[in-house]
Amino acid sequence: MVDGELARLRGELERLCAENVRLSRLLDLRGQDTAPAPEQLSAAVTPPGLVVMSSPVADKLALFADRFRARADVYAVRWDNARTGVSGWMPAVAGGWRKGMDRKAATYLPLTTEVVSAHLVGDVFIGLYPLRADNSCHFLVADFDGPAAMLDALA
């Protein structure tokens, strides 16, 4: 990042902080609470810190892993049947799924940095299982398609 750009961003940050203080004082004058709600979300400033296009790949993968925390013991892969035009998702297993395969005997593949990296460059389409072993969920995504997508989302 060029020094001038960094100075401009610092100036903008200072301006925004001052504006935040000013607006908080106005709300205080009106008797309104300006403290954030305890459930308010925030972006954690943890390593690797600010990630930009020129950041090392390891930092980009660390940021992705932090923002999309999911089960690491399994992930999903997309499948497409060119003959029928049907597609979907299935857990990634060693050797791939075969007709009549026993799910209990399958060796599920873990989510690794290499898998995420391949996904981010477009070599493979993966899906994550966001519900973790302790029943917590760091993120959740919903995908609504088709002509009734907006109605489905509103429902």
Q: Using the predicted structure, report yes or no on whether residue 37 has a pLDDT greater than 70.
A: no
Return the pLDDT at 142: 80
What one-character-per-residue DSSP string does the chain give?
Answer: --HHHHHHHHHHHHHHHHHHHHHHHHHHHTT---SPPTT-------TT-S--TTS-HHHHHHHHHHHT---SS--EEEEEETTTTEEEEEE-BTT---TT--GGG--BPPP-HHHHHHHHTTS--EE---B-TTS-BS-------STTHHHHHH-
pLDDT of residue 116: 92
- Span 42-57, average pLDDT: 71
Average confidence (pLDDT) over 42-65: 76
pLDDT digits (tens, 9 = 90+) for 14-25: 998 888 888 888
pLDDT band at 31 (very low <50, low <70, confident <90, very high): confident
Q: What is the mean pLDDT of the chain?
A: 84
User: Does the pLDDT at position 29 exceed 80?
Assistant: no
- Note the pLDDT tens digit of each residue in 133-147: 888 998 887 888 888
